[in-house]
Amino acid sequence: MANAFTTKLEAINTILQIIDEEPVETLQGEQPLEVTSALNTLEEVNREIQQMGWHWNTEYQYPLMPESDGTITLPQSTLEFDVDPRLAGNDSCEYIQRGTRVYNRTDRTYDIGKKLEAVIVSYLDWDDMPEPFRRWVFIRAGRILSNRSIGDGATNSFTQMNEIEAKSAAINYDARTKDATIFDSTVAHSIINRRMRRNGSTLQYGNY
C-alpha cells in the first residue's frame, strides 16, 4: 500500500532530480555535497514556512510555568511566542521571546514569577507535518536550490506556477482544518490581528 505522505527521503530525491543529480537510498551517514545542499535547503524553507504560524503548529492558551528563580523557559521548538493582554488578566506587562526565555519588557526582567497562558508557534518534525505543506516545502526548496545551481547543469523541473499551486493548496488545507470556535474567539482574533499588523499584511501568509 502506497504511503499517503511524502517522506523526507522522497522529498530529497525529488529535489535531487530537479538539479539533475542521482537519487539516494538513505539519508543516514555521510552524504555527498549535493545531498547535503538539498537537506539544508529543505530545512531552510521548512523553517521559513512553519514560522508563519498555521493551525496545525499553533497552540492557544499554552500554560507556561515559572521555574524556582521566576524565569520561564520556552519549549526548544518555539518559533514564535505571544501573550494577549486579555489572557493576562490585570497584568499590563509586555512579554516577548528572547532566545528560549520569556522577557518582561515592561519591567526589564526575566523574572516572570507566575504562570502565563500564551500562543506558541512550534517547529514540527517532517513526519508531523500535513502533506500539502510537505509538498509546498519541497517544491519551493527545489526551485530555490535549482536557481542557486544554475550553470551546473541544473534543470528547473518545477515552475513558479507549480509553487503557487502548492502554496494555494496548503493554505486552503489550513483554512479547512481550522476550528471555527477557536478562531471566532476575541482573544484569538486579537492575537492574529496583531501578528498581521507586524507583518504589514491583511493575511499573514498572503504576501509570502
Strand order in the sheet with 58-64: 58-64, 116-122, 78-82
178 near 55, Cβ under 8 Å? yes
22 near 173, Cβ under 8 Å? no
| pTM score of the predicted model | 0.81
**The pLDDT value given to residue 207:** 38
Kindly list the distances between the CA atom of residue 70 and the CA atoms of 64, 73, 89, in Å, as whole numbers in the listed order: 11, 10, 19
Rounded to the nearest 10°, the torsion over CA 70, 71, 77, 81 is 100
Q: What is the mean pLDDT of each run of 10 residues along the chain (208 residues)?
A: 86 92 94 95 98 95 96 96 74 92 96 94 97 97 86 60 95 85 53 57 41
**The pLDDT value given to residue 4:** 84
pLDDT digits (tens, 9 = 90+) for 104-140: 999 999 999 999 999 999 999 999 999 999 999 999 9
**The pLDDT value given to residue 202:** 42
Kindly list the distances between the CA atom of residue 142 and the CA atoms of 3, 40, 109, 163, in Å, as whole numbers in the listed order: 21, 11, 43, 10
Q: Which residue stretches of the chain are H helix? A: 8-18, 33-50, 131-148, 160-177, 180-183, 186-199
